[in-house]
Amino acid sequence: MENFTPHSALAGGGLIGLSAGLLWLFNGRVAGISGITGGLFSSRSRDIGWRLCFLAGLLLGPLIFRIVGDETASLHISPSLAVLSIAGLLVGYGTGLGNGCTSGHGICGLTRLSPRSVAATLTFMIVAAVTVYIVRHWPGAGSW
């Protein structure tokens, strides 16, 4: 872990927790990104404003940090567009199947001690660990 930056990681985690808490406090909504994004396409018109602002903050935050912050680690994405598209569809299907995503269950659900969120988060983490193992250690898996 040569690029670990504990101060920015702590600040980022704190800001995620603060934003999730403020959304819950002032809007009564769980900060689940898949639910916020999905609500743009099925929500009442009065809900669209805060959803767009929340998603804009997710997109603009890293850009602002890059401008005013320290040097950031470079990101290299190696899978093809087809693999990324299939992965995105599977994530979308999984969030529908699990009634939420890692942010909704992992950040907000665990905070509320929701048994369903504990089960979902354990499932996410186990599947993620198995996926990383397969992609990094099985012969030929990294060439997808």
- Dump pLDDT digits (tens) for 106-121: 888 888 888 998 998 8
Percent of the chain at pLDDT above 90?
A: 6
The position carrying tokens 């659900």 is 109
pTM: 0.69
Give the contacts of 31 (CB within 8 A, at least 6 positions apart).
Answer: 19, 20, 23, 24, 54, 103, 104, 107, 108
Q: Is 93 helix (H, G, I), strand (E, B) or coil?
A: helix
Give the contacts of 61 (CB within 8 A, at least 6 positions apart).
Answer: 15
In angstroms, the Cα distances linking 78 to 10, 81, 99 are 28, 9, 30
Each domain of the chain, given as residue ranges in start order, spans 1-75, 77-144
Mean pLDDT across the chain: 82
- Dump pLDDT digits (tens) for 34-45: 888 888 887 566
